[in-house]
Chains A and B, each alone.
Chain A
Amino acid sequence: MSKGNGSRRTFVIEKVPESNIIAVDKEVCVGCRTCELMCSLHHNDKFDLSLSRLYVSRSPFEALFTPEVCRQCLAPECYVVCPVEGAMKIDEKTGARLIVEEKCVGCGVCAQKCPWNGENRIIRLNTVKKVYEKCDLCGGAPSCVEFCPVNALTYVSLEER
């Protein structure tokens, strides 16, 4: 396993295949946070908001609930900037941008560079495993989408995008 020296790897963006995505309808979201709880249950077998890979920003006094999920960007900064060879890959089936747990060294550059990760809750550190984690689309059947009671989250395949 070769570990990078922190410099940006040469990379051709056009070669990154597109991904399926989770689409968000914030108008419909009721702010129950079931998605967060079910995300951590799926990945970590417990209810733990600090381990959820998406979050709902709640402003109850404006009735504003915004689920923030990984966009699986067309030009994924996280994937591009990762200094470790093989620590990030594209899921063949779903196109999800994945962090490979065994290879991640926990440097956090992906989390820093992600333009949507303002509160560090879309790509975030698992403090126990000392690796970064992000949405992996649950291998094609995202738990958050399955359990969203109001269909505020929908799983959109490549063909439907």
Chain B
Amino acid sequence: MDLSTGRLSDEDTRKYAEKFIGGRGVNAGIAWDEIPPGIDAFDPENRLIVMTGPLTGTAVPGGGRIMFGGVAPQVYPKPRYTRSSMGGHWGSTLKYAGYDGVIVHGRSERPVYLWINDGKTEIMDGNRLWGIDTYSSQKLLVEEHGSEAVAITIGPAGEHLSRIAIIANETENAAGQGGFGAVMGSKNLKAIVVKGKGPVTVAEPKRFLKAYKRITRLISHRGATIDLCGAQIKSLVKSKLDLYQGKYKQKLMACSGCPAACAPGLARVILNVPGKVYPYLNTSVNTCVETRWIGGTGDQYETGKGWGIPHPDYKQHYPELPQDMPVLDFESGFECAVLGNKYGVNMREVTLGIVPWLKLCVDAGLLTEKDLGMKIDIGSGAFWCEILRKIAYRVGVGDSLAEGTSRAADILGKGHKYLTHMAHGYVEHIVGRGIQSALPFPLWVTTALIWATESRDPVSEIHSATRINTRRGLTEAQARAISKKVYGTDKTVDPSYESKALRAIWHQNRGCMKDSLVLCDTVYPMVTSRMTKDYSGYTSAESELFSCITGKEMSEAELDKVGERIFNVERAIMVREGRSKEYDINCGVIKYLRDRPDTEGIKLEEDQFIKALEELYTLRGWDTGMGWPTKAKLQELGLKDIVKELEKLGKLP
């Protein structure tokens, strides 16, 4: 869809699907072909690419997600191509409407939205929706197009080109990281509404059901899955338990066709919570991210043992942080979370980036009431509601904060040492520090390697990369056995930097493949399972599902090879944008982890880490001097176009 000319055209996805499956892979392929290198995120030539995968729209557990790609404004110091993913029902409905994906480029003169109805597409006038929050605009669109329609929209934050603006679906599904909401905003595109009832075929239904049953059995410890936990959910919903003082009704909400429904401890719908600042009854899902305001979700909130801001480890290992991080009362915290969703602000960046940073800057006297233009009361919901409003509408200090915390520190010229941002303009995540400080060495070496070679907070890969964790009930012998089975060596368990690159590569390739199918990282890859005696998982689940649904037989190894191809395309995009080994080393990962010890007092050893990084390049068949994919590797992966262009740029060792 070209918004500059209003021209709509259909493109055959098979051109890319052969090589890249779908989702993240096809996005990368299209980005290589279409996005001019080095352009800004708000350039009309930037693409917003939204793509489903071959498993979208089916009943595959964890198959309710969709991938977004494009040059992302949040990436620091310079916007770069990256991706973001979203759950809910929008992706499957797009598939039912007859489309695998949407590519948006250009810029509309006036606010518009896109209306996709069972194979027909129309650009509609979006004037009356402009300025309206994400919940209300979705409700208006569903009212107009019927209850079966599903919309993604942006809020005021996206309209005001905040670099931390989300694309929202329903109450809390969001393409959050990357700031793609602002990309939509820059194109004057308020929403994409889809409706459809087309079929998704299955080549071998019986085989699918067999795989389905095996998967749901293996994940049944996680939540709402078949029988085992059904009774538990019922009691949760019926009795209200004593959570949240027993005051509010709770439920669970699931993405399309997913029996996992996140874990009840991870995401819960809480109904009709009265706002303290704005007099509304709010109903929303409270997820792991938003509940940082109140210190955790569900049981974590009750017991105080969550990995939230008041987590004891967090205080212990951030001695420089004040002991009284803002923890709001439940109603205020819930209101802030809902408000952030409605404004369309990235709550991860807010609760884990802006909140601690602002608090520390205020405590250190770097930011005063005059700077903020308001009375400072860190422990009150009203204060944070006002900060959120300032961010969404770029009022006063909000104008800087809307650029993301890393850029805000640059603009205001202060507070750099209080940033929780590790690299690429993203808050640290699963590296054994901060709220995930329970992660022991050497697991965080693997995740750090993934961070250093990625374009964003690589959450979809690092979730699973930490599953073989002896702190999660496995004995060391079990961990070694699983490691040997999955990675071919048990050295990944050794407390050293050896073979950590091997593990990083396995999860990167797998992550690319999984995000292309498109599957959810809370379920896949199933490296371990708590439902088996030896904790072993089901790593061929993805290939089994792909084969029985598409009818195209692909082994685990073949799919991993596709994952490798996709990772190399993404790396080639980065190389074309100027990425090299130097950037990987200096992106912030090493500095962040070298300066902050983990819970056992272990810091990152720079020399050994760089050696591990070089090992990663070698194992990938990349040049160890520059960190670039070699000609031989790209040819092996069948990426002829990329070979040609990189050769022309002189970036092909």
- Contact across chains for B202 and A63 when beta carbons are under 8 A apart: no
**CB of A115 within 8 A of chain B?**
no
- Contact across chains for B253 and A30 when beta carbons are under 8 A apart: yes
- Mask of B72-90 contacts with A, CB within 8 angstroms, 1/0: 0000000000000000010
Q: In the bound complex, how far is the Cα of B92 from the Cα of A33, in angstroms? A: 11
Q: In the bound complex, how far is the Cα of B283 from the Cα of A5, in angstroms? A: 53
Q: How far is the CB of A123 from chain B (nearest CB, A)?
A: 17
Within 8 Å by CB of A45, from B198, B202, B229, B257, lies B202
Nearest residue, chain A, Cβ from B259: A149
Interfacial residues of chain B within 180-211, with CB under 8 A of chain A in the complex? 197-202, 205, 208-209
Given A32-B258, A47-B58, A48-B200, A149:B253 Cβ within 8 A: no
Interface size on A (CB < 8 Å)?
A: 32
Interfacial residues of chain B within 219-244, with CB under 8 A of chain A in the complex? 224-227, 229-231, 233-234, 237-238
**CB of A131 within 8 A of chain B?**
no
Q: How far is the CB of A46 from chain B (nearest CB, A)?
A: 5
**CB of B301 within 8 A of chain A?**
no
Given A27-B238, A31-B253, A151-B227, A60:B170 Cβ within 8 A: yes
Residues of A within 8 A of B171 (CB): 60-61, 63
- Contact across chains for B234 and A28 when beta carbons are under 8 A apart: yes
Interfacial residues of chain B within 232-280, with CB under 8 A of chain A in the complex? 233-234, 237-238, 251-261, 269, 271
Within 8 Å by CB of B170, from A28, A46, A57, A61, lies A61
Residues of B within 8 A of A149 (CB): 216, 224-226, 230, 254, 259-261
Q: In the bound complex, how far is the Cα of B121 from the Cα of A155, in angstroms? A: 41
Residues of A within 8 A of B59 (CB): 34, 37-38, 41, 47, 147
Q: In the bound complex, how far is the Cα of B237 from the Cα of A58, in angstroms? A: 17
**CB of A51 within 8 A of chain B?**
yes
- Contact across chains for A147 and B259 when beta carbons are under 8 A apart: yes
- Contact across chains for A150 and B202 when beta carbons are under 8 A apart: no
Given A60-B253, A63-B269, A150-B230, A46:B199 Cβ within 8 A: yes
Nearest residue, chain B, Cβ from A51: B199
Q: How far is the CB of B325 from chain A (nearest CB, A)?
A: 30
Binding site secondary structure of chain B: loop
Q: In the bound complex, how far is the Cα of B256 from the Cα of A51, in angstroms? A: 17
- Contact across chains for A34 and B257 when beta carbons are under 8 A apart: yes
- Mask of A99-114 contacts with B, CB within 8 angstroms, 1/0: 0000000000000000
- Contact across chains for A150 and B233 when beta carbons are under 8 A apart: yes
- Contact across chains for B251 and A151 when beta carbons are under 8 A apart: no
Nearest residue, chain A, Cβ from B230: A151
Given A32-B254, A34-B257, A151-B231, A58:B283 Cβ within 8 A: no
**CB of B524 within 8 A of chain A?**
no
- Contact across chains for A47 and B202 when beta carbons are under 8 A apart: yes
- Contact across chains for B200 and A30 when beta carbons are under 8 A apart: no
**CB of A50 within 8 A of chain B?**
yes
Nearest residue, chain A, Cβ from B269: A63
Nearest residue, chain A, Cβ from B262: A30
Residues of B within 8 A of A49 (CB): 96, 197
Q: Please report A residues at the B interface, Cβ cutoff 8 Å.
A: 25, 27-28, 30-34, 37-38, 40-41, 45-51, 57-63, 65, 147-151
Q: Which 9 A-B pairs have the closest CB atoms?
A: A149-B259, A151-B230, A32-B254, A48-B199, A37-B59, A50-B197, A30-B254, A60-B170, A63-B269
- Extra contacts, 10 of them, besides A46-B202, A48-B200 (Cβ < 8 A), are A25-B234, A28-B237, A30-B253, A33-B89, A47-B58, A48-B197, A50-B197, A147-B59, A147-B259, A149-B226
* Listed A/B pairs (24) with beta-carbon separation below 8 Å: A27-B251, A28-B233, A32-B258, A32-B261, A34-B257, A37-B59, A41-B202, A47-B57, A47-B58, A47-B59, A47-B202, A48-B199, A58-B147, A60-B170, A62-B283, A63-B269, A63-B271, A63-B283, A65-B253, A147-B226, A149-B216, A150-B230, A151-B227, A151-B231
